[in-house]
Chain A
């Protein structure tokens, strides 16, 4: 037995873990690998400072199954992403965004793409680690001092003692026939060979520390608290905005609302057509419409009325909308019931005054000027007139030809 001259004395006494042979360059390594392969060994490997072309067939290594693992992981990622988005956006919590379909393929492709890539990368990275039996902090072969050359200029073949064909003397003579630079046995100097204990201690401490936030979250889910909630994003919870009609130290005049710049006017302050814009003729409320009435305009008025007015005034205008009903059920003290739009008081009101009420609001009713366009306001006024007519009509209002149908 040709023991390595510089093997440490402690290592000699340790159990033999295998045989290591060094060869002169990649060519010799490949030739030797072919012979070891043909001798039928299974638990052995080649070690070199750089990848050697053609070493896989020389060693008889079968093509890796890693591509199939990656493909499987990629398809899994694709499926998960598709299912996740279909379930969350399309089924469990449908939420319309920008008028796009609830489950529109184009919007979901980026997530499908990214998750496919992510899981493929996981499959490639962790699959390669597992297939290569990594990470491992200790292998018996590291106990050989000569083996340290493998990251520099050493080319080695190591056969492990666990190989079923392992026979120390036969292997050594087989290696010698190949003209190696050296042949030596290597020893398992650290049979436990596991991670240093410190790793476990640190790992357990980190794991326990990691449980603390989870425990806190669990606690707050199942208990009540009187203290205010935590503000993680203060700039979102406390925005530097001022409320109308409040004082502010920001501007020298102490007001939040800025006065109109001199020499300018807002678009709706234009008085080039007071009949249309203000509902006034010669300073008095207009009694006529500023435009020709049409069926189309009434249809539009109905549409706008049902959207903006009906929640309080009711679809029939009698002041029994959903909001009004709910408010009177709750018995809110401050609630002023909405007007009955079809009662004689409003029937006698000039159209300009109704227009003005829509535009600027009246009593508790807020102004709808900013939400409803000028033409639409007039359309609503026209529709209110139609409502009044429909509620207080007589048989004379029905065309003679249709009177028969009423009976």
Chain B
């Protein structure tokens, strides 16, 4: 069999071109309009008021942050394992994680609410609530606005540095073709993935777990990580399919690459279920009030219905649907499942975040009360995220043309 030479990639349609500004205009404009609408609804107090808007905003932010972190994992783990198969598709992940500076800006509303001592989002941030609640009071050494700010500065510093280094290095290699860049990136991937794991874990504690400050679960970081990888694999598959539909990357990315992206998505569908169940089972068995409270609000009443949706639609159904190799090698079915998982991940985040609203994260939480501003905030932030990715990727090549493992990736075949 004749293996295509790397020149194929050079001749491929591999730039966003006029598509870039178009996405930037449409997605950016849509995002800003939706967010402003949501904010107006929040200020006027309809649909739950400012607190509700901030909760919906946090859910949306956690959703897009998880996609970017999943992309970072994809880049780092493939450098760490010196993977060749993904070389033609890795730039998509690099561009996705390149949105970190935008995410840092989008985090500001959450940070400001904490610094203002607003208890409607993080109840521990409100000094009055914190001083009356014995358990929050005991955790004040960690859960206080100043230390929270310091931690998020560290997280974003690490994430921006990693994404700048890996995206920048890869783009520089497009011109110079210096293989030394690849070996340097491989060398740093070990330390980077360690920092990535620590920052992701603590960021998930801070952003999502501390919404219910009484609750704690040491596996929560892994749970968020599993969802993040699902989110990015699904997002990446959709981006690649849409780009190919626009005639781009048709020679660089083959069904073999999609098959492997699908395998990773399938693997993490199961990994997510494994971790989610591990978290649930220990708490269910231990039956300790501080731990069960979180699950009690989420598996009884109307939130219990959402939990069942997660069990079946986030795990059982896509697990069966993605199992066959034919499902992963058919772009229509693969992109269907990618879309499905992206929505499920969003519901998962919604299920983590929203029951905290109204109950200060403990006590009796209200049931599912879906509000218009929820969708405004989540879709608005996702649109801004897509616009940010289009901004990062508007000039650079969508595939790393001088990547030393390009030939290996083009010749890649699933036996």
> Which of A106-114, A200-208, A214-222, A388-396 is found at the contact surface with chain B?
A106-114
Any B CB within 8 A of the CB of A345: no
Contacts of A56 in B (CB 8 A): 415
B287 to A106, Cβ gap below 8 A?
no
Any A CB within 8 A of the CB of B280: yes
Contacts of A51 in B (CB 8 A): 415
CB-defined A-B contacts under 8 Å, sample of 22: A30-B1, A51-B415, A53-B1, A53-B413, A53-B415, A54-B1, A54-B413, A56-B415, A98-B285, A98-B287, A99-B287, A100-B285, A106-B277, A106-B280, A106-B281, A106-B284, A106-B285, A107-B281, A107-B285, A109-B277, A109-B281, A110-B281
Closest to B277 in A: A109
Q: How far is the CA of A99 from the CA of B287 in the complex (A)?
A: 10
Interface size class of B (residues with CB under 8 A): under 10
Contacts of B284 in A (CB 8 A): 106
Interface centre among A30, A56, A99, A109 (most CB of B within 10 A): A109
Q: What's the minimum C-beta distance from B304 to chain A, rounded to whole angstroms?
A: 14
Contacts of A100 in B (CB 8 A): 285
Contacts of A54 in B (CB 8 A): 1, 413
Q: How far is the CA of A171 from the CA of B281 in the complex (A)?
A: 64
Q: A54-B413, A56-B415, A106-B284 are in contact. List 11 more A-B contacts (CB 8 A).
A: A30-B1, A51-B415, A53-B413, A54-B1, A98-B285, A106-B277, A106-B280, A107-B281, A107-B285, A109-B277, A110-B281
Considering only residues 61-79 of chain B, those with a C-beta below 8 Å from chain A are none
Interface string of A337-374 (1 = CB under 8 A from B): 00000000000000000000000000000000000000
Q: How far is the CA of A323 from the CA of B285 in the complex (A)?
A: 37
Interface string of A73-108 (1 = CB under 8 A from B): 000000000000000000000000011100000110
Q: How far is the CA of A100 from the CA of B281 in the complex (A)?
A: 12
Q: What's the minimum C-beta distance from A123 to chain B, rounded to whole angstroms?
A: 15
Q: How far is the CA of A110 from the CA of B280 in the complex (A)?
A: 12
Considering only residues 1-23 of chain B, those with a C-beta below 8 Å from chain A are 1
Q: How far is the CA of A107 from the CA of B1 in the complex (A)?
A: 52
Closest to B324 in A: A67
Q: What's the minimum C-beta distance from A155 to chain B, rounded to whole angstroms?
A: 15
Q: How far is the CA of A99 from the CA of B286 in the complex (A)?
A: 11
Q: How far is the CA of A230 from the CA of B287 in the complex (A)?
A: 39
The 6 closest A-B pairs by CB, nearest first: A106-B284, A53-B413, A106-B281, A54-B1, A109-B277, A51-B415
Q: How far is the CA of A123 from the CA of B285 in the complex (A)?
A: 32
Interface string of B262-288 (1 = CB under 8 A from A): 000000000000000100110011010
Q: How far is the CA of A110 from the CA of B278 in the complex (A)?
A: 9
Q: How far is the CA of A106 from the CA of B280 in the complex (A)?
A: 8
Contacts of A109 in B (CB 8 A): 277, 281
Q: What's the minimum C-beta distance from A86 to chain B, rounded to whole angstroms?
A: 18
Contacts of A98 in B (CB 8 A): 285, 287
Considering only residues 186-210 of chain B, those with a C-beta below 8 Å from chain A are none
Closest to A97 in B: B285
Q: What's the minimum C-beta distance from B413 to chain A, rounded to whole angstroms?
A: 5
Q: What's the minimum C-beta distance from A32 to chain B, rounded to whole angstroms?
A: 15
Q: How far is the CA of A56 from the CA of B413 in the complex (A)?
A: 13
Interface centre among A53, A56, A99 (most CB of B within 10 A): A53
Q: How far is the CA of A98 from the CA of B286 in the complex (A)?
A: 9
Contacts of A99 in B (CB 8 A): 287
Q: How far is the CA of A100 from the CA of B284 in the complex (A)?
A: 9
Considering only residues 363-415 of chain B, those with a C-beta below 8 Å from chain A are 413, 415
Contacts of A106 in B (CB 8 A): 277, 280-281, 284-285
Q: How far is the CA of A307 from the CA of B284 in the complex (A)?
A: 30
Closest to B3 in A: A53
Contacts of B277 in A (CB 8 A): 106, 109
Q: What's the minimum C-beta distance from B383 to chain A, rounded to whole angstroms?
A: 39
Q: What's the minimum C-beta distance from A380 to chain B, rounded to whole angstroms?
A: 30
Closest to B281 in A: A106
Q: How far is the CA of A53 from the CA of B287 in the complex (A)?
A: 54
Q: How far is the CA of A100 from the CA of B1 in the complex (A)?
A: 61
Closest to A58 in B: B1
Q: What's the minimum C-beta distance from B289 to chain A, rounded to whole angstroms?
A: 14
Contacts of B1 in A (CB 8 A): 30, 53-54
Interface centre among B280, B413, B415 (most CB of A within 10 A): B415
Contacts of A53 in B (CB 8 A): 1, 413, 415
Q: How far is the CA of A5 from the CA of B277 in the complex (A)?
A: 65
Q: What's the minimum C-beta distance from A358 to chain B, rounded to whole angstroms?
A: 32
Contacts of A110 in B (CB 8 A): 281
Q: How far is the CA of A131 from the CA of B200 in the complex (A)?
A: 45
Q: What's the minimum C-beta distance from B320 to chain A, rounded to whole angstroms?
A: 10
Q: What's the minimum C-beta distance from A78 to chain B, rounded to whole angstroms?
A: 12
Q: What's the minimum C-beta distance from A375 to chain B, rounded to whole angstroms?
A: 24
